[in-house]
Amino acid sequence: MLYNPFVSPSPYDFQMYWYTTSRYIGYLYSDADYLLFLDADEIVEGQRFIDWMQAFDYEDYEAIRFLSYYYFRDPSYRATTYPTNALLAKRSALSLTILMNDWDRYGAFSRIEGKKKGRGVGLDGEPLIHHYSWVKPKEECLKKGATSGHSWEYDFPLEIEKEFAHPFQGSDFLFSYTYQKVPPFFDPLSYVPLEPLLQGDTSFVLRVNHREVMAKELLGNRNSPGWVVSSAGEGDC
C-alpha cells in the first residue's frame, strides 16, 4: 500500500492500512505452510473444510479464494448470491508488498503469481464459509458503518436508519441481493459482547509493537512462537 506523501490520506486509506497490517502481522508471526485469511465475522464449517482439504489438491495452488454464504439483518436471512471473500494462500507466495495493498484480500489474490483458483467451494459444490457481515443490532451496524473501510461508498447512517425503520424487506442496501429464509447455522446475535471475556485470560492474544515487527523483518526470523494470527475484520485491529 503506497501513499503519496504530498496528499493527505483519506479515512479509507487509514482503515485499509490497519486491515492489511493485521493480516501482514499474522503472516509474519506464523510458520504455517498455508494461511487462511478470514474476517472476524466469517465462520468456517470445520468438518466440511477438513473433508475438502483431505480430498482436494489445494497444495497444487498458490492461492484459493472461497465463495461464502452471506447473511443480512438476521442469521436466518441468507443471500441467494454467493460472494467471494476468504483467502487461502501458500505462505511462500506472500510478501509485504502483496499483503499491503488498497484492495485487501482481493488485491493480495490478484498479485500472487502462479496457479490460483477464484471460486473455491466444498465437495458438494456449496460454500464452506458463512459471512455474517451485517447480522448485528442497529447500534452495532451504525458503529460498523462509521469504521468500515467502505464508509466512503455509502451514507451508512441514513441507509441503516432506513433499514431498521421496518422489518426486513428481502433485500439489502449494499448489494441488492435476494434472500431466502433458512435455519440458522450460527447465531452471532446470541453471543455476549467480547469485552467481559477479555477481563479474564488474554494469553491467546498476540501483542506486538512496531519495533518488534521491524526487528522480525530485519532478522528474517519467521519461526512462530506458537501464534497464528490470520483473522481481521472490519473495525478490528
The rounded average pLDDT for each run of 10 residues, N- to C-terminus, in the chain (237 residues) is 46 65 89 94 96 97 98 97 97 92 90 96 98 94 84 87 96 96 94 62 78 79 42 40
Q: Which amino acid appears at position 105 of this protein?
A: R
Which pLDDT belongs to residue 192?
64
> Whole-angstrom Cα distance, residue 213 to residue 49?
31
> Whole-angstrom Cα distance, residue 131 to residue 81?
12
Which pLDDT belongs to residue 148?
77
In this structure, are residues 232 and 42 in contact, taking their beta carbons and an 8 Å threshold?
no
Segment (H or E) for 119 = strand 116-120
Q: What's the predicted TM-score (pTM) here?
A: 0.81
Strand ranges for 21-103 from DSSP E: 34-37, 42-44, 63-72, 74-79, 84-90
Which pLDDT belongs to residue 235?
38
Which pLDDT belongs to residue 67?
98
Burial 54-75 (b: 16+ CB within 10 A, else e): eebebeebbbbbbbbbbbbbbb
Helix (H, G, I), strand (E, B) or coil at 103: coil
> Whole-angstrom Cα distance, residue 10 to residue 81?
31
Query: How far is it between the farthest Cα atoms of the chain?
Result: 56
Which pLDDT belongs to residue 229?
40
